[in-house]
A and B are shown apart, each in its own frame.
Chain A
């Protein structure tokens, strides 16, 4: 009878569904809880770096034994690989501190931090004055703290078969992205690269379509070094670009650059290295053409006058240091000095203290990010101590 078979069918579907849920539940309880173990039983090299330094870690975090908390953070995508790796390593030391970090973009990170939907935020861009006001208004009596964590370089990746080590200076970069230089064999580029065989292909610029701290650092640099840029598009996480296409995320930009002959776009150093993209050498303030690398990035952060509020970008961008790569970005963890939950405050403090220590630094360099120089690190640790005070 139709009805009976339909009923049986429904019962069967329900039974299968319940069975699946039960199986998943058992699997979750049984195996899923060991996600940390799963991650650490692989790649021997990485796991030894965390277990091998456990003795020194114990020394720095003796006061933080046996913490228990759940923390949620969201923000910049640039430092996401480092933060995720840090969280994993830290969770092995403090298994009851469950931290979650999601890369949603610097802008969204600031927004969610302000709206109190996350415990800490992360942004490549220093918060603007009105953003800071709004965030401090959202939590009575609290002040916003910017804690720098790592530095990175923003490289100009390009697609010109047969042309290696392209040299560009700040005006060339600005004019390319302003649309004033439209062909690769333009005299301005030729002057910088007398020996290169530059084709007459049209230049296709690629920028980020999403609100991005990487864009902010890149455009801040351009605004600082080029008057036309400052008067025109200016600096910001999202600006009005002249022409070009917008790719979503670093991978979107990379995809277009890789597929389009004559394309040039800006991506993070770590991304360009991992994907073996050709990068341009950029002329820095001292007049030298610098190849982007960890060393040249760190050089930009050396010997700067550390500001109280930690607004570092104006100081590290276009650095005067002759070894420094000119287009660098700092990135911050955003926190309040007053946190309603003491357990969360203690956990966050312990995590950041550990991350800025030797173990965290080792992980960062392994992933391709430049750690803070020691003076800056001490200043950052002082900021961390303000959390939950």
Chain B
């Protein structure tokens, strides 16, 4: 990494002193960083607060049944969004269940198993998944995955495990499951690339120590890599979950847009983002409030999930 002559080496203290290491510059930089933080905060907070205010009429009109009731019928003045909440949560859970093991597996492969020549191509292949626009995911899901993968799989599962309510009934194609699978592919690159950075940051000394004590590779991973990475991987998963919760186009195309709660994942349902996207053009007055309120409820869900995640990480780090 360059010549280590005495005047420019990082080890040379003169270097720091020469480059204007005033303490005044320090507070300036602190101010700059803080200022950016404040700007970010203002932008995000303004959005949260302003939209919450827009949503208040709907909350007042419906009260608690806004989030606990299932009757979404704007033309008759009923604004109850539980089916949308349910659909959003179910599709995101499906996406996470499928994506997290895959992503962590790929990240581990890239850092622990892959020979050098294989690392770059696989990284770029994963980057490709991130580069695909969401519209294309929706179309690919609708025209390719739905007939050739989802139908056979859901028909199979419905036939043999149909007695379990979540797998029941003939598949309607457009369903929670369809949206969930495509979402899982969409969030994989997020979790993979961030987890990869986290695994890579584990010092090799820890790895070597494990090997030196006779560990197999998997044991080394289990003892040296995974424990220190839990917090970061949970953070990466939260970002992936955020993407799944917030995806609009793919879910609107694939979930079937039926504002009811269906227990079976092979049946259609509704999602918050889809409800907003579909209903926005038609909405007036209190329906606008209700749709914006659905978005605000999503904020609350995200807060709760993130708090739970941070609590889990905290518990791990203490143990």
Q: From residue B20, how far is it (CB to closest CB) to chain A in Å? A: 15
Q: Are B281 and A248 neighbours in the complex by a CB distance under 8 Å? A: no
Q: Are A108 and B280 neighbours in the complex by a CB distance under 8 Å? A: yes
| Cα–Cα, bound, A1→B11 (Å) | 12
Residue on B nearest A260 in the bound complex, by CB: B173
Q: From residue A248, how far is it (CB to closest CB) to chain B in Å? A: 5
Q: A373 near B: Cβ within 8 Å?
A: no
Per-residue 0/1 for B34-65: is the Cβ within 8 Å of any A Cβ (1 yes, 0 no)? 00000000000000000000000000000000
Q: A63 near B: Cβ within 8 Å?
A: no
Q: Are B172 and A245 neighbours in the complex by a CB distance under 8 Å? A: yes
Q: A2 near B: Cβ within 8 Å?
A: yes
Q: A111 near B: Cβ within 8 Å?
A: yes
The verdict on A210 contacting B174 (CB below 8 Å), with A236-B75, A244-B258, A252-B253 known, is: no
Q: Are B256 and A245 neighbours in the complex by a CB distance under 8 Å? A: yes
Q: A209 near B: Cβ within 8 Å?
A: yes
Q: Which of B2, B73, B282 has the most CB of A within 10 A?
A: B282
Q: B181 near A: Cβ within 8 Å?
A: no
Contacts of A247 in B (CB 8 A): 174, 253, 257
Q: Are A238 and B282 neighbours in the complex by a CB distance under 8 Å? A: yes
Q: From residue A254, how far is it (CB to closest CB) to chain B in Å? A: 10
Choose, from B104-112, B139-147, B221-229, B303-311, the stretch at the interface: B139-147
Q: Are A1 and B281 neighbours in the complex by a CB distance under 8 Å? A: no
Q: Are B75 and A2 neighbours in the complex by a CB distance under 8 Å? A: no
Residue on A nearest B172 in the bound complex, by CB: A245
Q: Which of A1, A104, A109, A234 has the most CB of B within 10 A?
A: A1
Q: B279 near A: Cβ within 8 Å?
A: yes
Q: A146 near B: Cβ within 8 Å?
A: no
Contacts of A107 in B (CB 8 A): 281-282
The verdict on A252 contacting B282 (CB below 8 Å), with A1-B8, A209-B274, A236-B75 known, is: no
The verdict on A256 contacting B278 (CB below 8 Å), with A239-B75, A240-B73, A248-B253 known, is: no
The verdict on A237 contacting B2 (CB below 8 Å), with A245-B172, A248-B252 known, is: no
Q: Are B170 and A202 neighbours in the complex by a CB distance under 8 Å? A: yes
| Cα–Cα, bound, A247→B139 (Å) | 12
The verdict on A210 contacting B268 (CB below 8 Å), with A246-B256, A252-B142 known, is: no
Q: Are B75 and A234 neighbours in the complex by a CB distance under 8 Å? A: yes
Per-residue 0/1 for B70-81: is the Cβ within 8 Å of any A Cβ (1 yes, 0 no)? 001111100000
Q: A1 is contacted by which of B2, B147, B258, B278 (Cβ under 8 Å)?
A: B2
Q: B300 near A: Cβ within 8 Å?
A: no
Contacts of B76 in A (CB 8 A): 240
Contacts of B282 in A (CB 8 A): 107, 211, 236-238
Name the interface size band of chain A. Answer: 35 or more
Q: A255 near B: Cβ within 8 Å?
A: yes
Per-residue 0/1 for B257-290: is the Cβ within 8 Å of any A Cβ (1 yes, 0 no)? 1110000000010000010011111101000000
Q: Are A211 and B1 neighbours in the complex by a CB distance under 8 Å? A: no
Residue on B nearest A134 in the bound complex, by CB: B284
| Cα–Cα, bound, A130→B284 (Å) | 10
Q: Are A256 and B173 neighbours in the complex by a CB distance under 8 Å? A: yes
Per-residue 0/1 for A244-274: is the Cβ within 8 Å of any B Cβ (1 yes, 0 no)? 1111100010011001100000000000000
The verdict on A2 contacting B2 (CB below 8 Å), with A211-B282, A238-B279, A245-B174 known, is: yes
Q: From residue B279, how far is it (CB to closest CB) to chain A in Å? A: 7
| Cα–Cα, bound, A290→B282 (Å) | 32
Q: Are B146 and A104 neighbours in the complex by a CB distance under 8 Å? A: no
Q: From residue B10, how far is it (CB to closest CB) to chain A in Å? A: 8
Q: Are A246 and B281 neighbours in the complex by a CB distance under 8 Å? A: no
Q: A238 is contacted by which of B2, B143, B278 (Cβ under 8 Å)?
A: B278
Contacts of B151 in A (CB 8 A): 259
| Cα–Cα, bound, A239→B76 (Å) | 10
Q: From residue B183, how far is it (CB to closest CB) to chain A in Å? A: 16
Contacts of A211 in B (CB 8 A): 278-282
Contacts of A244 in B (CB 8 A): 258
Residue on A nearest B74 in the bound complex, by CB: A238
| Cα–Cα, bound, A121→B57 (Å) | 29
Q: Are A105 and B142 neighbours in the complex by a CB distance under 8 Å? A: no
Q: Which residues 199-247 of A sit at the B interface, judged by CB distance below 8 A?
A: 202, 204, 209-211, 234, 236-241, 243-247
Q: B252 is contacted by which of A209, A234, A238, A239 (Cβ under 8 Å)?
A: A209
The verdict on A105 contacting B256 (CB below 8 Å), with A240-B73, A245-B173 known, is: no
Contacts of A106 in B (CB 8 A): 281
Q: Which of A107, A243, A246 has the most CB of B within 10 A?
A: A246
Q: A255 is contacted by which of B8, B75, B143 (Cβ under 8 Å)?
A: B143
The verdict on A246 contacting B257 (CB below 8 Å), with A210-B281, A211-B281 known, is: yes
Contacts of B173 in A (CB 8 A): 245, 256, 259-260
Q: Are A255 and B142 neighbours in the complex by a CB distance under 8 Å? A: yes
Q: A240-B72, A252-B142 are in contact. List 16 more A-B contacts (CB 8 A).
A: A107-B282, A108-B281, A109-B281, A202-B170, A209-B252, A209-B257, A211-B278, A234-B75, A240-B73, A240-B76, A244-B258, A245-B172, A245-B268, A248-B252, A256-B173, A259-B147
Interface residues of A (CB under 8 A from B): 1-2, 4-5, 104-109, 111, 130, 202, 204, 209-211, 234, 236-241, 243-248, 252, 255-256, 259-260
Can you list 11 pairs linking A and B with CB atoms under 8 Å apart?
A: A2-B2, A2-B10, A108-B280, A108-B281, A236-B75, A239-B75, A240-B73, A246-B256, A246-B258, A248-B252, A252-B142
